[in-house]
Structure 1
């Protein structure tokens, strides 16, 4: 409202209040800020008004001027305060006083409209904040899942490898360090599987060799036992004749 006053006062001092250019700019400001404006000359004649209630504004303006809070000669040429037309009526933000060419003016805007705008802005900002929080949460979940999913898969694979299950393979292909680790684990799994298979085959061969050796030893013992038995009979006969 203070900025609007400064522009109106400048136009009054330059005597351009009634110019088409200023009238157009004034209409834009009135619509933008929802301001009702009234300017009266020294004879209390309407110079400019943006409201259809000029009589009500005229009465309100003279009431404000007669309060003596502003002066055309002093430093306080205008004042801004809240006010009501009636005791229980709507609250307005009012600016009144003297312009540079000696005319008097009154500007007012309903605070209910401002409050509605503030409430709308607050609701809008709240909605924006909610969307932003939701979006950030979704992004956080997305990026965290992209990191935790490979880690969980690597943990699961390592658990299976610990139990000598080498069928599980890492399958993510994001091209990051975790993928390189997963590829190394896959290669390690293949190497361990091959090595353990070779050990199993060698162990089977070793068991076969041990079993074959045991069978040969058993056959040797049986042979020695038979030979010993066969030799005992001739020796006993010889000893009997002797």
Structure 2
């Protein structure tokens, strides 16, 4: 029970208020029981003394024979016995309206006496006043004590219950809200529309919950951003590992071939005695390795941690220049190169990276086109489109075309597939400039699309 009381503010408030109200009411009743009879007795004694003084004055003025009626009225009014005796002690007049039992009790009577003269003779007047009304008042108060105690207890219990509910219920609701807030549940609101401290507490909790909810939302966004950054870092780390793994794989084969041919020539083994022939072959292998290394360096530069140069780049002019430079390659492979650059496309960025990206895409289209095919390069309204006719790529391979060292040719022949870094470099370079790019099959062939419109808006 003690534990239950200590854990319940409503029960503690009820018991505290009950004890306080009972104590206050009992103290008030005790004070009434003690001081009311005393004050009543003092009031009666004062009134009796005043009436007795007036009676003595009448006896002195008119004599006792003329004031018998006044003496009788005094006795009746004050519940007293009055006796008049002469100077010899003989009783000349008496009247008694006092209760005999109360007169016999000294603590419940009041005696007054005085002398007066009439016709040259001295008289003595004695009055005994009964104070039984005072004792009766005390008895009545004591008799009412059980009923008054029950009434005090009932009223105190009702008052304590009302007070406990009025003050503890809002606190209990606020306590429940605080517990929900501790569990980070902010889907609540204190509905205590009061102007006192409890209302201020409820308003403070509401304000605190709003701030906490806002802060938690900001933290959640920050955590989500941090999670994305971590995922991006992990993805970049995986890409770097895959990239270097692919680099080692790409360089391992030509190095092994070059080493084998050189050893064969050194030891004059079989056909390798013809050194002039195989030296030229070694030179070709070395040139291929040099070209691959340049591509790898370009890919590393494009994907490295650097910011592109912030200069004005005219994508239209770069596209025309790339087409002019690759026109001879198209003629060599018997491919028609057609361009349609309708307008300029100014953006902010690194001209060398953008040119490299466009050149890789156009060169890739020419290289992977059959003789007699058409490669069209168009730029209109900020969208670059490079399409080679007669070609087709499996839908399963389309998402992987931008991966480093990926080649559609499963034989991985360098004559038809290159290093597999061209489109990877192009995508990384365009991504650095905020340019979205994609490759899809069309009715005519395969088309590469790069959207420069966002970069144009940023440049403005």
| TM-score interval (norm. to shorter) | 0.5 to 0.7
Alpha-carbon distance between aligned partners in 2 of 1:231 and 1:16, rounded to the nearest angstrom: 155
CA contact (8 A) 2:75 2:97 kept: no
In the alignment, which of 74, 80, 95 is matched to residue 35 of structure 1?
80
- Does residue 15 of structure 1 match 2:32? no
In the alignment, which of 121, 124, 128 is matched to residue 108 of structure 1?
128
For 2:410, the equivalent position in structure 1 comes to: none
- Equivalent pairs counted in the alignment come to 204
- Does residue 212 of structure 1 match 2:232? yes
Alpha-carbon distance between aligned partners in 1 of 2:164 and 2:76, rounded to the nearest angstrom: 50
How many angstroms does 1:153 deviate by?
A: 6.8
How many angstroms does 1:13 deviate by?
A: 2.1
For 1:99, the equivalent position in structure 2 comes to: 116
For 1:186, the equivalent position in structure 2 comes to: 206
Alpha-carbon distance between aligned partners in 2 of 1:176 and 1:200, rounded to the nearest angstrom: 36
CA contact (8 A) 2:72 2:95 kept: no
TM-score normalised according to structure 1 size? 0.57
For 1:79, the equivalent position in structure 2 comes to: none
Alpha-carbon distance between aligned partners in 1 of 2:256 and 2:134, rounded to the nearest angstrom: 134
Q: Which runs of 5+ in 1 are unaligned?
A: 57-81, 85-89
For 1:51, the equivalent position in structure 2 comes to: 97
SS at match of 1:14: helix
Q: Which runs of 5+ in 2 are unaligned?
A: 1-47, 263-460
SS at match of 2:62: coil
Higher relative contact order (CA 8 A, sep 6+): 1
For 1:202, the equivalent position in structure 2 comes to: 222
For 1:235, the equivalent position in structure 2 comes to: 255
For 2:50, the equivalent position in structure 1 comes to: 3
How many angstroms does 1:148 deviate by?
A: 7.6
How many angstroms does 1:31 deviate by?
A: 4.8
CA contact (8 A) 1:10 1:100 kept: no
How many angstroms does 1:239 deviate by?
A: 1.3
Call closer, same or farther: CA 1:207–1:9 in 2, change over 3 Å.
same
Alpha-carbon distance between aligned partners in 2 of 1:51 and 1:220, rounded to the nearest angstrom: 126
Matches within 5 A, 1:79-228: 84=104, 90-91=105-106, 93-96=110-113, 98-101=115-118, 102-110=122-130, 113=132, 116-117=135-136, 119-120=138-139, 123=142, 161=181, 164-166=184-186, 169-228=189-248
How many angstroms does 1:174 deviate by?
A: 3.4
* Higher Rg of the two aligned structures: 2
TM-score normalised according to structure 2 size? 0.34
SS at match of 1:206: helix
How many angstroms does 1:7 deviate by?
A: 1.6
